[in-house]
Chain A
């Protein structure tokens, strides 16, 4: 391991804009050895992607100014005089995979051509040889029917398949180093697991070094040999994966580990968010960049100008100058007091269906088929509880939320809210009902009107529903709402773009609370946020629920988040509920093969657990809702499927009190598993 593939030394990247400069990367150094898997973790804006892009000079310059060096085979890639050499290395010896697979491929070019383009360029092969190699690579990343798919265009592939193609493209010229920049963030968890397992196998087989850039601590725990933790453009700590997780030596790393909900922790653990927000880097940080948010800072942290990397263990270095860091907080035992949920139904959904017609025709469109977005959904939500709804993209979660809010009308079925059927209300009554049922959106950036002030966004429901009389009462109520969600009331006159993601999501929550609703539909409320901020919002939602007696329908794709906040969990797959039960039984004893796969696909931020655990990978992609497989919709991907599964749609049946599963073979699977377990 003496030879390094890439040696990055004191890399600095600044974006010199007309009015200000962003100091994105401030002296980052790292090296990678052949066959090694290195993880770079950090929150958005910490410079983890920019530093990778800078080594290959892929950041637009100007405005970017890059200093330092990145040495590959004795030549500095950052040096502009090596530009021609860099171009031969890019895509050939060092290749990158990006976050958005669907948009990273040229939509008007055949995918095979896009891969062979790189091969012809770097390996100087002829068209036919390049084509043969491309097909071979496509087979290696497990694209079915590779020969025929060579001629396909990107839109004919799913997101997961596109990412496989990107990997094939990156691997096309036998690179020495592969950089995967948040390459699975946009994918569903089961697909993420498929891709990462495959990627690891491919690089292990070819002894390619792999650098994984991600915000997901679980991923680096499972795959990385060495981890670099970045904050505000600097590496604050690095070392072997196991050391980082068992003996984190920087206050930020500790904070990060504390703020992530984990599939294996105590349910009522209060998450420990890192308060405040990451710096905007428009000035070079003085002292330790993290000191403003640090709970364990020393007096000299903010003033000290030099932070040398200090060795804290074998190959384990940290920038933190506090020698007596408290790591015990990692498993906070601050628990929320247990909720008592009365057995009183607030909302009940009975036999809900929603179909969207598929139309065809030249002049007069006629319906030729339908998409079944919701298929016989039955749910009951008790007053004061949180019902977590999980499922992958396209499973109908959002359609269900919109039906409850009356934004779309279901094809058939009932939605009973305190006994009244919401689907039968007229327009006026629906509007009145909106006071009681509110929505928190996923995207805190797009869901706030950019031209309104924060104060008027939050106060708007008060005006619409005429809830306050007089200016004084209005202002008092708005201020109350600001304080309730932990926002400084002096932000009242700011515009949304002046706030950070976490602050905006608080605005969204305050707006939803303005009309004093009893029921909140939270549609992926934290998926756009960084982990440290995500913890703040989750804690806020939990606190508000207890203080105001709210009931939540919490929709998310992230099982660890859902598990953390929910009392009851329902799992959806292609428009149907496949399993539901209280969180404990469902997570401890998942019965449906799909639930098992979902749970197994979520990486846990603990290398010890991850290294010994096998992922119950499921094959294939989520099928399109317009071509639903017959019988149980999961059977084509299910490892336990029998002929019966394709014949009839399985009913939800109660396997133990309060635990419903729509799988005929669930008992058999569990029996087999527990036998196998006891045999070991």
Chain B
């Protein structure tokens, strides 16, 4: 098992290195740079060249990449030309906002999704199954931006129970913070929750028809014990796989939702920085997202091994 985890970490580091390179490369390929933005209409070839030299933009791509990479090891992600602040400082502040929201959405979608999925599978073909499946199908097909707007009209404009948009730090006003977060969190969670319901339902149904569940029933165990001890653990593998992917999807969703509800998180920062040609910030955002996804996948991979002894063994041998 240790060997397996070490191997996975090694692979993750390698992927991370590739991510840094690609995130640097992408911004390189986009036409226009910070100089165009900073100088705007005042640009003359001389001024531009001088500014490029001071920002190191005149050096070859590969040299700049290694300079940036070297900075990363020291915790220095460069300086934002737009905010005139260190990228690390900006990101840490924004990340906290995004993480809080994303984490809440992840917990809600996982816990509620698995519970509803199990209820649905156990009552297959019954009233609760039909009801849950119906809403899960709707939840999967609704785009987040549309649902967000719908929620604003309904709960904020018409019913006036929740604030339209905005963000307050929890240390300043916790109650307002909570009220402001309700809609964004739900809107982010709906899609993930729906796919979790469907995945859990099909995984549990698949497992229930296995021979070893028949054996468990033949042993005389109660249905509840069968479900918890024999079914759920076996159904966990496809659920975990989905969970790993959800984290990526949630991150993508956050970008949209933060813009709808005017939340100053990383999603908004990313979008604004792309328009501002604030390359160092964009690179930082992409890098952070890459790290989060890689860590999520690493955790999922490692937990596979804990759940299923067969995976543990294959991974140890191969």
Residue of A90, A106, A153, A360 contacting most chain B CB atoms (<10 Å): A106
- A90 to B215: give the CA distance in the assembly, Å: 10
- A88 to B317: give the CA distance in the assembly, Å: 42
Q: Give chain A nearest CB distance to B210 CB in angstroms.
A: 7
Contact of B212 (CB < 8 Å), options: A88, A89, A105, A155: A105
- A257 to B92: give the CA distance in the assembly, Å: 81
Q: Is the CB of B212 within 8 A of A107?
A: yes
Q: A179 — nearest CB in chain B belongs to which residue?
A: B218
0 or 1 for each of B170-183: is its CB under 8 Å from A? (1 = yes): 00000000000000
Q: Is the CB of A117 within 8 A of B310?
A: no
Determine the chain B residues whose CB is within 8 A of the CB of A273 once the complex forms.
none
Determine the chain A residues whose CB is within 8 A of the CB of B42 once the complex forms.
none
Q: Give chain A nearest CB distance to B205 CB in angstroms.
A: 12
Determine the chain A residues whose CB is within 8 A of the CB of B234 once the complex forms.
106-108
Determine the chain A residues whose CB is within 8 A of the CB of B309 once the complex forms.
107-108, 153, 155
Q: Is the CB of A106 within 8 A of B212?
A: yes
> Which residues in window 132-189 of A have CB below 8 A to B?
153, 155-156, 166, 169
Report if A91 contacts B (CB, 8 A): yes
Q: A121 — nearest CB in chain B belongs to which residue?
A: B220
Report if A526 contacts B (CB, 8 A): no
Q: Is the CB of B221 within 8 A of A360?
A: no
* Also in contact, A104 and B214, with CB within 8 A (given A117-B221, A121-B220, A122-B220): yes
Q: Is the CB of A121 within 8 A of B219?
A: yes
Q: Is the CB of B211 within 8 A of A104?
A: yes
* Also in contact, A108 and B233, with CB within 8 A (given A58-B214, A153-B310, A155-B313): yes
Report if B64 contacts A (CB, 8 A): no
Report if B100 contacts A (CB, 8 A): no
Report if A209 contacts B (CB, 8 A): no
Q: Is the CB of B219 within 8 A of A169?
A: yes
Report if B160 contacts A (CB, 8 A): no
Determine the chain B residues whose CB is within 8 A of the CB of A88 once the complex forms.
220
Q: B7 — nearest CB in chain A belongs to which residue?
A: A362
Contact of B211 (CB < 8 Å), options: A100, A108, A109, A117: A100
Q: Is the CB of B215 within 8 A of A58?
A: no
Q: Is the CB of B220 within 8 A of A106?
A: no
- A109 to B228: give the CA distance in the assembly, Å: 12
Contact of B220 (CB < 8 Å), options: A90, A104, A109: A90
> Which residues in window 46-94 of A have CB below 8 A to B?
56, 58, 87-92
Q: A84 — nearest CB in chain B belongs to which residue?
A: B222
Determine the chain B residues whose CB is within 8 A of the CB of A156 once the complex forms.
313
Report if A535 contacts B (CB, 8 A): no
Contact of A106 (CB < 8 Å), options: B215, B218, B307, B313: B215
Q: A156 — nearest CB in chain B belongs to which residue?
A: B313
Report if A96 contacts B (CB, 8 A): yes
- A105 to B222: give the CA distance in the assembly, Å: 17
- A603 to B219: give the CA distance in the assembly, Å: 31
0 or 1 for each of B182-225: is its CB under 8 Å from A? (1 = yes): 00000000000000000000000000001110111111111000
0 or 1 for each of B219-258: is its CB under 8 Å from A? (1 = yes): 1111000000110011000000000000000000000000
Report if B76 contacts A (CB, 8 A): no
- A169 to B222: give the CA distance in the assembly, Å: 17
Contact of B218 (CB < 8 Å), options: A90, A155, A360: A90
- A122 to B222: give the CA distance in the assembly, Å: 12
Report if A98 contacts B (CB, 8 A): yes
Contact of A121 (CB < 8 Å), options: B212, B221, B310: B221
> Which residues in window 264-318 of B have CB below 8 A to A?
307-310, 313, 317-318
Q: Is the CB of A108 within 8 A of B307?
A: yes
Q: Is the CB of B219 within 8 A of A106?
A: no
- A410 to B231: give the CA distance in the assembly, Å: 43
- A108 to B318: give the CA distance in the assembly, Å: 20
- A109 to B229: give the CA distance in the assembly, Å: 9
Q: Is the CB of B222 within 8 A of A87?
A: yes
Determine the chain A residues whose CB is within 8 A of the CB of B212 once the complex forms.
103-107
Q: Is the CB of B10 within 8 A of A92?
A: no
Q: A103 — nearest CB in chain B belongs to which residue?
A: B211
Q: Is the CB of B310 within 8 A of A107?
A: yes
Q: Is the CB of A58 within 8 A of B218?
A: yes
Report if A256 contacts B (CB, 8 A): no
- A89 to B219: give the CA distance in the assembly, Å: 9
Report if A118 contacts B (CB, 8 A): yes
> Which residues in window 105-124 of A have CB below 8 A to B?
105-109, 117-118, 121-122
* Also in contact, A106 and B214, with CB within 8 A (given A87-B222, A91-B220, A153-B310): no
Report if A513 contacts B (CB, 8 A): no
Report if A95 contacts B (CB, 8 A): yes
- A100 to B214: give the CA distance in the assembly, Å: 11
Q: Is the CB of A92 within 8 A of B218?
A: no
Q: Is the CB of A360 within 8 A of B318?
A: yes
- A156 to B221: give the CA distance in the assembly, Å: 25
Residue of B7, B210, B218, B234 contacting most chain A CB atoms (<10 Å): B218
- A359 to B318: give the CA distance in the assembly, Å: 7
Q: Is the CB of A106 within 8 A of B317?
A: no
Determine the chain A residues whose CB is within 8 A of the CB of B318 once the complex forms.
359-360
Determine the chain B residues whose CB is within 8 A of the CB of A96 once the complex forms.
218
Q: Give chain B nearest CB distance to A83 CB in angstroms.
A: 11
Q: Give chain B nearest CB distance to A370 CB in angstroms.
A: 15
Q: A88 — nearest CB in chain B belongs to which residue?
A: B220
Determine the chain B residues whose CB is within 8 A of the CB of A105 once the complex forms.
212, 215
* Also in contact, A118 and B219, with CB within 8 A (given A105-B212, A107-B308, A108-B308): yes
Can you list 8 residue pairs at the A/B interface with Cβ under 8 Å?
A58-B214, A58-B218, A91-B219, A96-B218, A109-B230, A109-B233, A121-B221, A155-B309
Q: A104-B211, A121-B219, A153-B310 are in contact. List 9 more A-B contacts (CB 8 A).
A: A98-B211, A98-B218, A105-B215, A106-B215, A117-B219, A156-B313, A362-B7, A362-B10, A362-B11
Hey, which bits of chain B sit against chain A, CB under 8 A?
A: 7, 10-11, 210-212, 214-222, 229-230, 233-234, 307-310, 313, 317-318
Hey, which bits of chain A sit against chain B, CB under 8 A?
A: 56, 58, 87-92, 95-96, 98, 100, 103-109, 117-118, 121-122, 153, 155-156, 166, 169, 359-360, 362
